Structure 1
Amino acid sequence: MPRFFLQQPLAIGGLVSLPDSITHHIHVLRMAIGDMVTLFNGEGGEYTATLASIEKRRAVAEVKTFSPRESELPYAITLAQGLPEGSKMDWIMEKAVELGATTIQPLAAQRSVVRLSAERAEKKLQHWRGIIEAAAEQCGRNRLPHVCEPVQFGDWIGRQDLHRRILLTPRAEQSLSDWARHHPPQAVTVMIGPEGGFTEQEESAAANHGVLLLSIGKRVLRTETAGLAALAGINAVWGEF
């Protein structure tokens, strides 16, 4: 059954006007009046609805039932990702949603090639939110992960109101999997550097602010691989897989 995200209140018995993007998708799928769809608004649970009318640019669905089904991890994972070049961040965000990340924090690190002005950052945020919505539709999540505004590494690392932070570096002596095996499931933030990784100065600053430095194996992973491998590894050790 097709799943669609709607940023509006949903209630059993209500008629919902579907936006152009969803209407277009309905036409592509060659759906007809009476066909069923799943709707969710990110506030938890999902609704089953039937298509009541389909026009060229407008479709209406009638909400029939509600299910409290959830597919969230029992612990929160934040991915603090150093801004990579090109469209890599799009791919990282899509896969992070599938792997259960609850928050994604883009970081402007010293080796980040991308530099976002305030205007570009706002456009990127809107673009990334669309990617997150689509990924949640596909993977069956009923709550949308939060994507934060890009922030400078130096400004973010000094914040004190964050849960356990882990920076992955090949220079660390303890592995992520070894640490996870000896600690109960808990809220964590996984920090991944951009191409070239975090600098030694950034790693030192992180350690001085209580960040735990861990490795992810003997091989050096690309920036678009490391965070996703870390999320999968944590989920495997803590019993999600």
Structure 2
Amino acid sequence: MNDYFSPHVLIIALTFFLAGFVKGVAGMGLPTVAMGVLGAIMSPVSAASLLVIPSFVTNFWQLFTGPNVLALIKRLWVMMLGIMAGTLAGSWVLTSANTAYASVGLGAALIVYAVHGLFAKPLSVPARFERPLSPVIGLTTGLINGGTGVFTLPAVPYLQALGFSKDDLIQALGLSFTVSTIALAAGLARGGAFHLGNITLSILAVIPALLGMQAGTTVRERISAATFRRWFLIVIAILGLELAVHPFLF
């Protein structure tokens, strides 16, 4: 019983509370924050395995926040297949012995995510390009997801560029994140990365993640979302830089 109150477990709980808080404020960011923080204190594959269940629960809830689930699945199913295939293909990086490469890849993905969010202009994808681009975006997102445990790029800016309404965008992101989480779980399981201890901690991490989401949702109504988002991205860039250079310094 005392193991559940060890400093290691408390750090995990605090991390998922923080990650849930960010998701509650910004509508996304739970895996980015969790992988960024936990990747600095444990191997990326261990961090990814802890991420799976709280990520699935929060994203599944987000997917069903509106009435257009079936319409979104019909529109985006090719992209979702690409995410599944790419994640399964790329998960060998996380589950292999090359954890240094996974750490560098995770750091690079976080830096790209942060820089894009800070400086890139919003994109717009014409309707005629959606069909050929969707499988490419899905496959690329899956490869990054499988190799780093971060499934925001390039799926998030692409979905934002498709011109969804606010509510449909939230659901589309929930769909992409849910499929990414399931695919990551399958890739980790195939590589033997799921152990009983990881599953137990992952289930327990749902509680602080949901508490953090509730707190973040409350705070979202009281602060400037633009200010929070800017500092959130700056912190993510710093975390990514530390992860990317760490294997070369120690």
TM normalised by structure 1 equals 0.29
Structure ranking higher on relative contact order (CA contacts 8 Å, 6+ apart): 2
Structure with more of its chain in strand, by fraction: 1
TM normalised by structure 2 equals 0.28
* Rg comparison, structure with higher value: 1
